[in-house]
Amino acid sequence: MDELSTINRRRFLKQAGTLAALSTVGGIPLTALANEDHVTLTILHTNDVHSRIDPFPMDGSRNQGLGGVARRATLVERIRSEQRNVLLLDAGDTVQGTPYFNLFGGKVELELMSRMRYDASTFGNHEFDNGLEGLAKMLPYAKFPFLTANYDFSDTLLKGKTRDYIIFRKQGLRIGVFGLGIQLAGLVDPTRCQGVRYLDPVTTANVLAERLKQDYRCNLVVCLSHLGYKYQGNKVSDVVLARNTRNIDLIIGGHTHTFMPEPEHIRNLDGQMTTINQVGFAGINLGRLDYIFERQSKKKKLVTAGRYKMSERMSAVMERG
DSSP assignment, residue 120? B
136 binds other proteins (CB under 8 A): no
The torsion defined by the Cα of 150, 151, 153 and 156, in degrees rounded to 10, comes to 170
103 binds other proteins (CB under 8 A): yes
- CA dist 217 and 220 (Å) reads 9
266 binds other proteins (CB under 8 A): no
Interacting stretch for other proteins, rule CB under 8 A, among 85-93, 223-231, 240-248, 299-307? Answer: 299-307
**What is the chain's Cα-based Rg?**
19
Residue from 111, 136, 198, 243 touching other proteins (CB under 8 A): that is 111
275 binds other proteins (CB under 8 A): yes
SS3 306: coil
Our measurement of the distance from residue 259's CA atom to the centroid of its chain's CA atoms, rounded to an integer in Å, reads 14
How many alpha carbons lie under 13 Å from residue 128 in its C-beta half-sphere? 25
247 binds other proteins (CB under 8 A): no
Q: Are 202 and 244 in contact (CB under 8 A)?
A: yes
248 binds other proteins (CB under 8 A): no
Report the site for other proteins in 163-192 (rule: CB under 8 A).
Answer: 163-164, 166-169, 172-174, 185-191
The DSSP element (H or E) to which 38 belongs, if any, is strand 38-46
Interacting stretch for other proteins, rule CB under 8 A, among 81-89, 214-222, 225-233, 239-247? Answer: 214-222
Q: Which is nearer to other proteins, 102 or 269 (CB)?
A: 102
Interacting stretch for other proteins, rule CB under 8 A, among 80-88, 224-232, 240-248, 281-289? Answer: 281-289
Dihedrals phi, psi of 221, to nearest 5 degrees:
-115, 125
Compute the least distance from the CB of residue 290 to other proteins, in Å.
5
- CA dist 295 and 119 (Å) reads 25
34 binds other proteins (CB under 8 A): no
Compute the least distance from the CB of residue 217 to other proteins, in Å.
5
Interacting stretch for other proteins, rule CB under 8 A, among 81-89, 91-99, 226-234, 237-245? Answer: 91-99
31 binds other proteins (CB under 8 A): no
77 binds other proteins (CB under 8 A): yes
Q: Are 179 and 122 in contact (CB under 8 A)?
A: yes
